[in-house]
Amino acid sequence: MELRQLAVVVAVAEEGGFTAAAQRLRTVQSTVSTVVRALERDLGTPLFHRTTHRVVLTPAGEAFVPAARAALEAAERARAAVTAVDGEVRIGVCPGLLADLHRVLARLRQTHPGLAVEIRQLRPGSLESTVDLVLTWADDGLAGSDGLVTTLLPAEELVLATAPGGVRSAPADLSALSLADFPPGWAIREAVDRAFPRRRVSLEVDDLAVAAGLVRAGLAACVLPASVAARFGELTVRRFERTVPWQLAAVHRAEAGPAVAAVLAQLG
């Protein structure tokens, strides 16, 4: 199985036909048909139902195409990791999302000094035309949108940050605690709202360092991603008995290009 075969199958699926896929790939229809038939023989199952007027995926094709897209994206990221990329990439980031974004950008600049990077702040659930890639919380609704590709980043968990000292376990019910939280529109706020809908927000701030200062002073506790809480080593990090996942994702359009692949290579 070759990457070229995967690219052809994905093109046919996305364009809805062999002729349109050939136009997209700048080849002829007979070549596309030959490649698809060869791959189907190799797999031992048809990937498409062919009729006079349209081409649709078989159940095997429905399972195959997402995996093919992921393989093509992984190959592009591998190529981007070792090949310098020029141009420009615009990244949308939801507020408070990545504690170590500066490290990602530093590695990106070191690997691709000719790549200009713009960072724009976006609300969760939006992929504006002004950006090429959105770094967001995986459950914000973008992941299932048509025409978008989602790459999950390394998973972690939400923890409860409290003043120094005390036990290392967090209560399952936070309703009795005074909590510092972030404004609606922050990815952390969206995730915590879902996980703990009955909590009481006593203090609302729009800065991670301010939230940590309130916690340090004993004025509130704060639910944070583990990587964010780790930035403030003087706080006590309390884990929930039942893990509360914090899954980030990079979301972009299918035809993203090498600049987006370069960013994904640094994030993965």
Q: Which CATH number fits domain 3-80: 3.30.40.10, 1.20.1740.10, 3.40.50.460, 1.10.10.10?
A: 1.10.10.10
Instruction: Give the whole-angstrom CA distance, residue 231 versus residue 59.
Output: 46
Both tokens of residue 253?
């359009």
CATH topology of 84-154+247-267 equal to that of 156-246? yes
- In degrees rounded to 5, what are phi and psi of residue 176? -90, -5
Closest CA to 155 of 226, 72, 260: 226
Instruction: Give the whole-angstrom CA distance, residue 112 versus residue 7.
Output: 26
| Annotation: CATH topology of 84-154+247-267 | D-Maltodextrin-Binding Protein; domain 2 (3.40.190)
Is 47:61 a contact under the CB 8 Å cutoff? yes
Q: What is the full per-residue pLDDT of the chain (268 aa) written as tens digits?
A: 888 899 999 998 988 888 888 888 888 989 999 999 999 999 999 999 887 777 889 999 899 999 998 888 888 777 766 677 888 999 988 877 777 788 888 988 888 888 999 998 877 656 666 788 888 877 755 554 556 778 888 888 999 999 988 778 888 888 888 999 998 888 888 888 888 888 888 899 988 899 999 999 999 999 999 988 988 889 999 999 889 888 888 888 777 788 888 888 888 6
Neighbours of 180 (CB within 10 A): 22
The Cα angle at residue 229 between residues 225 and 232, in degrees rounded to 5: 160
